[in-house]
Structure 1
Amino acid sequence: MAVHGDIRAGVVDVHAHWLPRELLALPPGNPLGGMNDRGGALFLGDIPLSFPTAAMTDIDTIVADTHKSGLGVRVVSAPPFAFPVHAPSEADDYVAAYNQQLADAVSHTDGTLVGLGLVRLDDVAAARRELTRLAGAEGVAGIAVPPVACGRSYDRGVPREVLGVAAELGLSVLVHPMQLPRPEWDHHYLVNLIGNPVETTTAVASVLLGGVLEDLPDLRICFVHGGGCAPSLIGRWGHGWRSRDDVHRGSTRPPAESFRLLYFDTITHDPQVLRLLRAHASLDRILCGSDYPFDMAQPDPVGFLLDNGMDAAALEANGRRFLGMREA
């Protein structure tokens, strides 16, 4: 399964965010106080997010920015604050409402926008119901999920089973961190600057060392922010896999081999880090990302890649492959 119909030609940005105004309150149990508009600016509780509300909520604004950025297609998903993880059993209505509005919104953009929906990670039956609906929705390619849910990542339990359902239905999976708080990260924006890469790294390790891709060879899964710290740790993981029974018990392939089967976006903010990612990842699985409209976004996602030796046609082909589509 892939996106129904066709999409515009050009580079595909797989990492951008959209949330309709009607759902700014966020799912039940969310501790952040909901999102709200104040004079045209968007806030998370009382924290200013430093961009206009329309940049997150208005489809026409997002389409205009997509064209202005030189992109062919932008793949939009909910901001991580909207993941249904705090009271998932009470979030079915929110998840269904988001997914329906997402499908309605992207289907009217003439192939400029593609959607990634929401899903619960605590209940396989509930996840299967929503994933089955998403598989038939126009303009929707898959789901966006957090790296960690219910104290687990993707090597075990319900999160791993959800990946299995996604692979079965041919849905793409984008793994996006949530800025999980820790006391030592309560200043300098460390919850984002350190926390986000660490969350993503945890999920990458769980997938590699848990043998997920050995069980699910058709799974298309992408890790944002260049895979977090994973490219710099793949050698360490390989040493552990060769040296310790408890590390290689869950997988039959060395981590570096499975690493080349994962997709990664290019939001590294550093040409040297991008070069390291390209050294370890498969070149046909590196995807353009922007993180629009957040303040940590790559402001010129296409220019950054072209200036650092990447090819627009290859990036377009990679994006289409991640979405489950044939090359243009």
Structure 2
Amino acid sequence: MAVRGDVRAGIIDVHAHWLPRDLLRLPPGSPLGGMNDRDGQLYLGEHPLFLDTETMTDIQAVIADTVKTGLGARAISPPPFAFPVFQPAEADDYITAYNDQLAEAVSASEGVLVGLGLVRVDDVTAARREMTRLTGMPGIAGVAVPPLVQGRSYGDGTMREVLAAAADADLAVLVHPMQLPRPEWQDHYLVNLIGNPVETTTAIASVLLSGVMEQLPDLRICFVHGGGCAPALIGRWQHGWHKREDVRRGGSRPPADPFARLYFDTVTHDPEVLRLLTARASQDKILCGSDYPFDMAQPDPVRFLLDYGLDAAALEANGRRFLGIQTAT
């Protein structure tokens, strides 16, 4: 599906979050409880998120920040806490409510916003049904999904079928980590500082080594936070593929080949890591990201990219290609 109509000219941020206030309760089964406002500050259960509630919930605040930051447009998606993964069979109403409000918000933004909606990844029939709905919604370009669910990723089973459904529907896929807890990460915010890139890296390896990109030549899939550790590990994976039969069992191409077809955002926080990413990934697959409005966001995403040699016109073209944006005819 292509997003038709006018989208503002300029660099497109593909990684930003929005959740309407009435959906702060989160889908059923969220282990930390819902999100909530306390004197203008946003909390996840009892945990402060260190951001103003309105930056997440007020669509006008999102639009204002997009313009102030010098972006042409921004693709907004739910924060990862809103992914319907804990009791997914009970989350259909929540998914519908979010996607309906997302479509309304982006349609009213006068070309500033594009939407990436919610979808289940446990049931391909439910996923296809919601994706069909999304293709009929103006301004919706794709879906945002988690990288891992209950120890599984996109190499096989239902999650792989969900990617196939997205490719069939011509919807972009943004893969965003969930900060899954592990005992060794309980301090120092390691669940984010280490956990987020590790989750993303695991999903990338799953996609590359299982033959997903060979099976789905039309899939447009983006991994955030600069692809986690994957740009630094692709050589190791390549070596393992050539040396071990169990590594190459899933696909006929070494991982560097399908790696060139993956999209990545630029939330790296480090110009040297950005250089590594741009050296490893295809130049037409590099996308601006910000992670707005979280504390780990890239605060000035446009300036960060331009200061370190990326081309504004190329970034805009890449963003439009990933999101399927075309001018109305």
User: TM-score category by the smaller chain?
Assistant: over 0.9
Cα deviations by residue, 1:85-123 (Å, 9 ceiling, x for unpaired): 000011000011101110011100001000100011111
Verify: 1:185 aligned to 2:185, yes or no.
yes
Using the TM superposition, give the Cα deviation of residue 150 of structure 1 relative to its aligned residue in structure 2, in angstroms: 3.4
The one-letter code of the counterpart of 2:44 is L
Using the TM superposition, give the Cα deviation of residue 32 of structure 1 relative to its aligned residue in structure 2, in angstroms: 1.0
Partner of 1:269: 269
Partner of 1:287: 287
Helix, strand or coil at the partner of 1:179: coil
Partner of 2:215: 215
Partner of 2:259: 259
Partner of 2:54: 54
Q: Is the 8 A contact 2:145 2:176 kept in 1?
A: yes
Partner of 1:312: 312
Summarize the alignment of residues 206-245 of structure 1 with structure 2, pairs less than 5 Å apart.
206-245=206-245
Using the TM superposition, give the Cα deviation of residue 2 of structure 1 relative to its aligned residue in structure 2, in angstroms: 1.5
Helix, strand or coil at the partner of 1:315: helix
Q: Is the 8 A contact 1:15 1:74 kept in 2?
A: yes
Using the TM superposition, give the Cα deviation of residue 327 of structure 1 relative to its aligned residue in structure 2, in angstroms: 8.5
Partner of 1:204: 204
Q: Identify the range of structure 1 (196-205 vs 44-53) with the bigger mean alpha-carbon deviation.
A: 44-53
Q: Identify the range of structure 1 (287-296 vs 38-47) with the bigger mean alpha-carbon deviation.
A: 38-47
Verify: 1:76 aligned to 2:94, yes or no.
no
How many residue pairs get matched? 328
Summarize the alignment of residues 160-171 of structure 1 with structure 2, pairs less than 5 Å apart.
160-171=160-171
CA distance in structure 2 between the partners assigned to 1:245 and 1:208 by the alignment: 15
Using the TM superposition, give the Cα deviation of residue 252 of structure 1 relative to its aligned residue in structure 2, in angstroms: 1.1
The one-letter code of the counterpart of 2:146 is P
Cα deviations by residue, 1:251-274 (Å, 9 ceiling, x for unpaired): 111111111100000000011101
Using the TM superposition, give the Cα deviation of residue 244 of structure 1 relative to its aligned residue in structure 2, in angstroms: 0.6
CA distance in structure 2 between the partners assigned to 1:150 and 1:194 by the alignment: 19
Partner of 2:154: 154
Partner of 1:104: 104
CA distance in structure 1 between the partners assigned to 2:327 and 2:104 by the alignment: 25
Summarize the alignment of residues 113-132 of structure 1 with structure 2, pairs less than 5 Å apart.
113-132=113-132
The one-letter code of the counterpart of 1:20 is P
Using the TM superposition, give the Cα deviation of residue 151 of structure 1 relative to its aligned residue in structure 2, in angstroms: 2.4
The one-letter code of the counterpart of 1:134 is L
Q: Is the 8 A contact 2:25 2:35 kept in 1?
A: yes
Structure 1 runs (4+) greater than 3 angstroms displaced:
none
CA distance in structure 1 between the partners assigned to 2:320 and 2:32 by the alignment: 35
Q: Is the 8 A contact 2:26 2:34 kept in 1?
A: yes
Partner of 1:14: 14
CA distance in structure 2 between the partners assigned to 1:255 and 1:168 by the alignment: 23
Give ranges in structure 2 of 5+ residues lacking alignment.
none
Partner of 2:63: 63
The one-letter code of the counterpart of 1:257 is D
Verify: 1:140 aligned to 2:149, yes or no.
no
CA distance in structure 2 between the partners assigned to 1:59 and 1:317 by the alignment: 25
CA distance in structure 2 between the partners assigned to 1:203 and 1:327 by the alignment: 33
Give me the CA root mean square deviation. 1.0
CA distance in structure 2 between the partners assigned to 1:302 and 1:109 by the alignment: 20
Give ranges in structure 1 of 5+ residues lacking alignment.
none
Q: Identify the range of structure 1 (146-155 vs 21-30) with the bigger mean alpha-carbon deviation.
A: 146-155
Cα deviations by residue, 1:160-195 (Å, 9 ceiling, x for unpaired): 000001000100000000000000000000000000
